[in-house]
Structure formats: structure tokens, C-alpha cells
Amino acid sequence: MEHIDTTQLWDRETFLAQLRTIGIHHYHHKHPFHRYMNSGQLSPEQVRGWVANRFYYQQHIPIKDAAIISNCPVREVRRLWLHRISDHDGFHEGTGGIEAWLKLADATQLTREELLDERHILPGVRFAVDAYVNFARTKPWPIAIASSLTEVFAPDLMQERLAAFEKYYTWVAPQGLEYFRSRITQARIDSDQGLELTMTYCHTRALQEEAIKALSFKCDVLWSMLDAMTQAYSSQ
């Protein structure tokens, strides 16, 4: 019987296929909470609960990206990744993705104070998000970048989410949906960048396999957040 070298580097197409398989089967677009959201079955209180808890994740995206940069010795990669922090934090007051999410909260009749003081954050959501930030801080930077590749699957979900809000949740002020609109385009740019860096710097079979595990872990983080929200808001 011919010996098969399991340590051989996957070619680009095989590696991409492995990453995409994770998204197809494990991305949180299949979670019941998202299916209910996108079919108009959530109550206003459930929508507000999702907005408030998802904000904890949004707040930590630039912290996660700063951790990746701090671990990366490659100047060209740091330069490429740096915009993600300003995309969320903004260059000045009133701009950026975090501010756009606060406007979404306002459009659902949640106050800025409610989001910023974290009174609505569920323990399961806090645990999942904190675990993701810790992952980015402690793993090799190419693996942390690979964990961000859930954004490969985000544009389609964002498009579906925007359509659902416009159709079913007309009580949400339209100006609050700008975050969804902007991410449809930006997520494609970010995912192309993240994929290219993963393809380039995960240059051993061991790193490729760790990248697959990292993406699976990130899918688990997003899924666990929705599990916590489903349990908390199922009766509302």
C-alpha cells in the first residue's frame, strides 16, 4: 500500500475548500435565532436583546484586531490590518462601526447608556466574546487572522438581515440600519484581505490545519452567543 504523506501542504484550492466547508456547515446563519430573525419572528424585546448583546462583540472587534497587530512582526501585514481598528472606532467622534451600532440601538429604542454600561450583557455572551479576544492575544497572528474569516460568509447574511429588517421590523427607524448596509461592501473587502493573508502565511500543513480549527472556534463563539440569547429571550 502506498504511503500517504499527511504533512504535505494543501494546495490553494484545497485549503480554500476546507475553510469554506467550515463556514457552510458551522457559520451562525443556520442558528435558529437567526432564522427566526430573518423570517420576522422576533419580538421587539428579542430584537433589542440581540442588539444589546451583539454590541459587546462589536466593541471588542478593534481590541481583537489590536491584539493581532501587537503579535505580528511583519510591517506590511500590520499596515494592511490597521484600518480595521479605525473602521470600528472611527477617526473621530460620531464615526465608525461602533457608532453605527449605537445608532442601530437608538433606532430600536435602546439608549446609548444601556449599551455602554453593559446592563443587558448575558454571561454566555460575555464569556464567548472574552474567549475570542483571548484567542487573538495568545495564538500566533496568522491563526488569529484565520479566525476572522467568518467575514467571508458575512455579506450574504448581512444582505438577508437588512432585507428582513426592512420588511418585518418596520418599527426600527431606517437610519439605524446603516451598519448593515456598510458591512455588505466592507466585509467583502476585509474577507478578501484576510483570505489572502491566510493563504500566504499559513505556509505549512500544520498552520493550515490550525487555521481550520481557528475558523471553527470562531464559528463556535458566534453560535454560543446566539445560544445564550435564545435561552434568555425565548419567552419574550
**Cα 18-21-22 angle, rounded to 5 deg:** 95
Residue 101 domain flag: yes
> What percent of the chain is modeled with pLDDT above 70?
97
Q: How many domains does the structure of the chain reveal?
A: 1
Q: Residue 69's domain is classified under what CATH number? A: 1.20.910.10
Residue 89 CA, distance from chain mean position: 16
Domain hosting residue 140, numbered range: 40-233
**Does some domain include residue 20?**
no
Residue 46 has pLDDT above 80, yes or no: yes
Decide: 234 and 152 in contact? Cβ < 8 Å.
no
Inside any domain, residue 10: no
Place of cell 453560535: 223
pLDDT digits (tens, 9 = 90+) for 130-163: 999 999 999 999 999 999 999 998 888 889 999 9
pLDDT of residue 41: 97
Average pLDDT, integer, range 187-197? 93
Per-residue model confidence (pLDDT) at position 203: 95
- pTM for this prediction: 0.93
What confidence tens digit (pLDDT) does each residue in 80-121 have?
A: 999 999 999 999 888 999 999 999 999 999 999 999 999 999
Q: Is 34 contained in some domain?
A: no
Q: Residue 40 has what pLDDT?
A: 97
